[in-house]
């Protein structure tokens, strides 16, 4: 575990002395090396200095490294325009270190520290490389929503330590009340985000640069799900009593978000709201506290991280050429960028959970889990699945078909870097399912 930490830690000062692309090549090499030597055990292994990893941790660690590598590849304009490329690489690598620490710690207080620390590089990305002046308010939305929910969590962690004299996940045993339960889970509800606490997410996505959108959709939302899976190790008894409140709210939210997506005119805003819907389904699966729900949540979080990040990359590829994210201007792209239209179709299909994507496997497992919890949830699940199909088709058809905007006169099929970038999202999303049995081993 320490070799993984130190490899990426020493890349941080190196990023100021080597080329932007050489940094990315070092990250690729590290990813494939550590992926080949790591053990995806169902128990915590490689323990040292209260850090270690089980299958759940390692899945998210490697997803984090993969998404950060693709962030470098997607942010070519920063390098080509010389828009502080070395500072950008520094911020991305610091964020990666915080994420790896968050997923690998076995101490709930250290998890809180790294969980909150990941906010700082994210806000620097939005403030420093964002698009419009509204990025300031979007960054403050993100900051204060998260901080408001996190202070009760800090107090709850101190109370747990006072009672149990330990912060190691697996040794905590506490008679939890509703207030302790609420203080520990509310921060994760806001981070995922749960419906009615989601207002920071669309504004942050719309104002963030492509790298910020990728890391937000790919990893930072998953911190909430990962944290819930850890705290329910000792909140299980009280969770069985009160979880029905949040499951009911999230089921309604998934249904509601489908209609909100269909009303969007901004491509990034639609993809951001679809993330709220998928995370609502993940939240329901985790809160059912059964095997299907927890395994399905892990699968769907990994699938959504790749699919949503890929859709944001496609939206950015169009934005760099058309200078707009509006559906009214980004229409008829199948004639403007015919080769890229195939990837729009593939990722839109994966977003609605078509086979053989990880999204399909995750949604099947989660629907099993939620139906097992209460058969009446069938109404919300069926309508939300139908609406998910509707807004994915709307995303593809509104952007690819129709009349081409009159100011666009040329054809730009995309460069090799962009095709490789989208392929690196699509390939693992559809081929990891061949060894999907690994995801159900950790329970």
Backbone angles phi, psi at 177, to 5 degrees: -95, 175
What's the number of domains the chain is made of?
A: 1
Instruction: Of 335, 321, 339, 320, give the one whose Cα is nearest residue 416.
Output: 339
Q: Does pLDDT of 274 surpass 80?
A: yes
Q: Classify burial at 332, counting beta carbons within 10 Å of its beta carbon; exposed 0-12, middle 13-18, buried 19 or more.
A: middle
Q: Do the Cβ atoms of 232 and 289 come closer than 8 Å?
A: yes
Q: What is the pTM of this model?
A: 0.94
* Residue 1 DSSP SS3: coil
pLDDT band at 53 (very low <50, low <70, confident <90, very high): confident
Determine the pLDDT at residue 411: 63
Could you report the per-residue pLDDT of 276-328, keeping only the tens digit for each? 999 999 999 999 999 999 999 999 999 999 999 999 999 999 888 888 888 88
Q: What is the rounded distance in angstroms from the CA atom of residue 397 to the CA atom of residue 400?
A: 5
pLDDT at 396 over 90: yes
Whether residue 363 is predicted with pLDDT greater than 90 in this model: the reply is yes
Q: Which domain holds residue 2?
A: 1-441
Distance between alpha carbon 301 and the CA centroid of its chain, in Å? 7
Tell me the per-residue pLDDT of 224-256, one tens digit each, with 9 for 90 and over: 999 999 999 889 889 888 999 999 999 999 999
| For residue 408, pLDDT beyond 80 | no
**In the prediction, which pLDDT does 181 show?**
92
The percentage of residues in the chain with a pLDDT greater than 70, rounded to a whole number, is 98
Share of the chain above pLDDT 90, in %: 55
pLDDT value, residue 322: 84
Residue 188 has pLDDT above 70, yes or no: yes
What integer pLDDT is reported at residue 312 of this predicted model? 94
Mean pLDDT of the chain: 90
Tokens linked to 139? 């960054």
What is the predicted pLDDT for the residue at 410?
64
- The lowest-confidence range among 98-107, 298-307, 433-442 is 433-442
Residue 133: pLDDT over 90: no
pLDDT band (50, 70, 90) for residue 337: confident
Tell me which residue of 214, 10, 8, 200 sits closest to 129, measured CA to CA: 214
């Amino acid at each position: 575990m320490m070799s993984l930490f130190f490899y990426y830690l020493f890349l941080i000062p190196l990023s100021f002395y080597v080329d932007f692309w050489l940094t990315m090549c070092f990250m690729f090499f590290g990813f494939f090396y550590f992926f080949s030597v790591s053990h995806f055990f169902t128990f915590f292994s490689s323990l040292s200095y209260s850090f270690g990893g089980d299958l759940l941790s390692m899945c998210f660690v490697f997803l984090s490294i993969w998404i950060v590598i693709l962030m470098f590849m997607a942010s070519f304009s920063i390098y080509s325009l010389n828009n502080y490329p070395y500072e950008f690489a520094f911020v991305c690598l610091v964020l990666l270190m915080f994420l790896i620490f968050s997923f690998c710690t076995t101490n709930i207080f250290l998890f809180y520290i790294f969980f909150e620390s990941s906010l700082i590089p994210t806000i620097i990305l939005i403030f420093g490389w964002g698009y419009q002046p509204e990025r300031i308010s979007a960054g403050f939305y993100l900051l204060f929503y998260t901080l408001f929910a996190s202070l009760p969590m800090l107090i709850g962690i101190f109370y747990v330590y006072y009672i149990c004299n330990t912060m190691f996940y697996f040794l905590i045993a506490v008679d939890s009340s509703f207030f302790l339960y609420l203080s520990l889970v509310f921060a994760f509800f806001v981070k995922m985000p749960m419906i009615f606490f989601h207002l920071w997410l669309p504004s942050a996505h719309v104002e963030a640069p492509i790298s910020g959108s990728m890391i937000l959709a790919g990893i930072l939302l998953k911190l909430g799900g990962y944290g819930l899976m850890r705290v329910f190790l000792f909140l299980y008894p009280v969770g069985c009593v009160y979880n029905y409140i949040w499951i009911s709210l999230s089921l309604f939210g998934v249904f509601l978000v489908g209609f909100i997506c269909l009303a969007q005119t901004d491509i990034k805003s639609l993809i951001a709201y679809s993330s709220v819907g998928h995370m609502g389904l993940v939240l329901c699966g985790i809160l059912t506290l059964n095997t299907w729900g927890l395994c399905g949540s892990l699968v769907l979080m990994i699938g959504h991280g790749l699919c949503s990040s890929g859709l944001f990359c496609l939206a950015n590829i169009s934005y760099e050429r058309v200078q707009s994210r509006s559906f009214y201007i980004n229409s008829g792209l199948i004639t403007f960028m015919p080769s890229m239209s195939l990837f729009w179709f593939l990722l839109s299909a994966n977003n609605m959970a078509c086979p053989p994507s990880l999204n399909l496997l995750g949604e099947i497992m989660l629907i099993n889990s939620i139906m097992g919890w209460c058969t009446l949830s069938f109404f919300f699940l069926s309508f939300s699945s139908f609406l998910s199909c509707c807004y994915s088709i709307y995303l593809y058809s509104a952007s690819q078909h129709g009349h081409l905007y009159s100011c666009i006169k040329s054809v730009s099929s995309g460069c090799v870097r962009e095709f490789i970038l989208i392929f690196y999202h699509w390939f693992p999303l559809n081929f990891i399912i061949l060894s999907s049995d690994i995801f159900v081993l950790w329970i």
